[in-house]
Amino acid sequence: MFGIAAGILLVWRLGTVAQWGGVVLIVVGLFRAWELVQSFRHPPGTFRISDKEVALPRGLHAGKPLKVAPSEVSAVYFLRKSVPWNRASPVLVVELGQHAIAYPRDWFASEADQRNVVHALLAGRASEAKTTTPPAVAADDRRSLIVELGGGGALIVVGAVMALAGVALVIAFGPFVAGGILAWRAITRRL
C-alpha cells in the first residue's frame, strides 16, 4: 500500500521522470495487492501425495491443485546451480510428461521438507505401474491462460488507445506495464 500511495504522490506532484517512477510504483503496488487478495481467497499450496493420487499446487495461493496419478510424474529433481539470480536454490522441479512445475525454496520451511516431497513422489512412482500416456492439461488451466493472455493484450491495447487519444504518456504507460506483466506471467507459467 505504501508503494501505491508513494506512486500517486510522485505522479501528482513531481516532474516527468518521477511520474514514470510513480506509475511503476502504482502498477507494482496494485499487483502486490492483487496477490494479497488471492492469499485470502485461497489456502496456501500444499502437496498431497498418496498411492492413488498426487495433488500438486499450481501456485502459492492459486486455487485448485493439479491432481494426477503417481505414474504420470515422469521426473522429480532439484535445480541447484541453474537457478535465476532472484530465486533461492534449490528449486524443486516436478515433471509431468512435457510440462514441468518449479517450486522455489521459499515455499518450504527447510530443505528437508523438499526432500520429503521428492521421496514421497518417487515412492509413489515406484509403487504404481508406469504408463506412457502424457497427463492431460486441465481445461481450467487453459481457460486461465487464455484469460491472462487476453487481459494482458487488452490492457496493452487500452494503453495504446490512450496514448493515441492524447492522454498524457505517463498515464497511458500504466496499462502498458500492467498488460505486459499479466501477459508475461501467462507466457512464462508452466504446468
Domain spans in the chain, listed from the N-terminal domain onward: 1-41, 48-136, 139-191
23 contact partners, CB below 8 Å, separation of at least 6: 7, 11, 170, 171, 173, 174, 177
pLDDT computed for residue 188 by the predictor: 73
Given a cut of 80, whether residue 33 has pLDDT beyond it is yes
**pLDDT (tens digit, 9 = 90+) per residue, 69-101?**
877 878 787 777 766 676 666 777 888 877 777
pLDDT computed for residue 129 by the predictor: 45
**pLDDT (tens digit, 9 = 90+) per residue, 2-29?**
778 888 888 877 887 888 888 888 888 8
**pLDDT (tens digit, 9 = 90+) per residue, 145-180?**
777 888 888 888 888 888 888 878 778 788 888 888
CB 53 within 8 A of CB 67: yes
Q: How far is Cα 46 from Cα 67, in angstroms, rounded to an integer? A: 12
Pick the CATH number of 48-136 from 3.90.550, 1.10.10, 2.30.29, 1.10.3470: 2.30.29
Whole-model pTM over 0.85: no
